[in-house]
Structure 1
Amino acid sequence: MSKTIFITGTSSGIGKSTVQYFAQKGWNVAATMRSPDKGKDLAELSNVNVYQLDVTDENSIDQAVTKAIQDFGKIDVVLNNAGYGLIGPFELATKEQVQREFQTNLFGAMNVMRAFLPHFKQNKDGLIINLTSVGGLITMPYTSLYHSTKFALEGFSESLAYELEQFGIRIKIVEPGAVYTNFATSSIDMATSDSVKDYDADLQKLQEAFTKLMNPETNPLGGGSTPEMVAETIYTAATDGSEQMRYLSGKDAEQMIAAKKEHGDAGFHKMMMQMLLGQEA
Structure 2
Amino acid sequence: MQKTIFITGASTGLGKSTAKLFHSKGWQVIATMRSPEKETELNQLENIVLLPLDVTNSQQIAETIKNVTASYSVDVVLNNAGYGLIGALEALSDEQIFRQIETNLMGVIRVSKAFAPHFREKRNGIFLNITSTFGLMGFPTCSVYSATKFAVDGFSESLASELVQFGIQVKVIAPGGMQTDFAIRSMEIGQHDAYEKLTAEVSKGYSPEQLANYTKVEDVAQIVYDAATDSKNQFRYIAGNDAVALYNERIKSGAEAQVENIKTMFTF
Instruction: Output the TM-score relative to the length of structure 2.
Output: 0.95
CA deviation profile, 1:214-260 (whole Å, cap 9, x unmatched): 4234xxxxxx3211111100000000001001111111011001222
For 1:225 and 1:253, the matched residues in 2 are separated by 9
How big is the shift at 1:273? 4.3
> Is residue 99 of structure 2 the alignment partner of residue 100 of structure 1?
yes
Q: What residue number does 2:53 align with?
A: 53
Q: What residue number does 1:233 align with?
A: 223
For 1:213 and 1:101, the matched residues in 2 are separated by 27
Contact kept? 1:89, 1:191, Cα under 8 Å: yes
Give the match's secondary structure for 1:161: helix
How big is the shift at 1:118? 1.3
CA deviation profile, 1:17-49 (whole Å, cap 9, x unmatched): 000000000000000000012323212211100
For 2:216 and 2:111, the matched residues in 1 are separated by 26
For 2:166 and 2:262, the matched residues in 1 are separated by 42
Matched to 1:100, the amino acid is R
Q: What residue number does 2:139 align with?
A: 140
CA gap 1:214/1:5 in 2 versus in 1, 3 angstroms: farther
1:69-148 correspondence to structure 2 within 5 Å: 69-71=69-71, 73-148=72-147
Give the match's secondary structure for 2:11: coil
Q: What residue number does 1:221 align with?
A: none
Q: What residue number does 2:179 align with?
A: 180
For 2:20 and 2:40, the matched residues in 1 are separated by 13
How big is the shift at 1:212? 6.6
Long gaps (5+) in structure 1: 218-223
Q: What residue number does 2:233 align with?
A: 243
Give the match's secondary structure for 2:40: helix
Q: What residue number does 2:253 align with?
A: 263
What percentage of residue pairs aligned between the two structures are identical? 41
Matched to 1:246, the amino acid is R
CA gap 1:254/1:198 in 2 versus in 1, 3 angstroms: same
Contact kept? 1:105, 1:149, Cα under 8 Å: yes
Contact kept? 2:76, 2:127, Cα under 8 Å: yes
CA deviation profile, 1:27-75 (whole Å, cap 9, x unmatched): 000000000123232122111000000000012112221232234x200
Contact kept? 1:179, 1:214, Cα under 8 Å: no
Give the match's secondary structure for 1:243: coil
Q: What residue number does 1:63 align with?
A: 63
For 2:263 and 2:204, the matched residues in 1 are separated by 14
How big is the shift at 1:269? 2.9
Contact kept? 2:204, 2:210, Cα under 8 Å: no
Give the match's secondary structure for 2:146: helix
Contact kept? 1:178, 1:214, Cα under 8 Å: no
CA gap 1:265/1:168 in 2 versus in 1, 3 angstroms: closer
Contact kept? 1:133, 1:176, Cα under 8 Å: yes
Worse-matched range after superposition: 61-70 or 7-16: 61-70
CA deviation profile, 1:198-219 (whole Å, cap 9, x unmatched): 11111111112332784234xx
Give the match's secondary structure for 2:95: helix
Contact kept? 2:8, 2:15, Cα under 8 Å: yes
How many pairs are equivalent?
268
Long gaps (5+) in structure 2: none
For 2:97 and 2:188, the matched residues in 1 are separated by 10
Matched to 1:267, the amino acid is A
Matched to 1:250, the amino acid is G
> Is residue 34 of structure 2 the alignment partner of residue 44 of structure 1?
no
Contact kept? 1:56, 1:103, Cα under 8 Å: yes
Give the match's secondary structure for 2:232: coil
Query: What value does the CA root-mean-square deviation take over the aligned residues?
Result: 1.6
Contact kept? 1:127, 1:238, Cα under 8 Å: yes
Contact kept? 2:178, 2:211, Cα under 8 Å: no
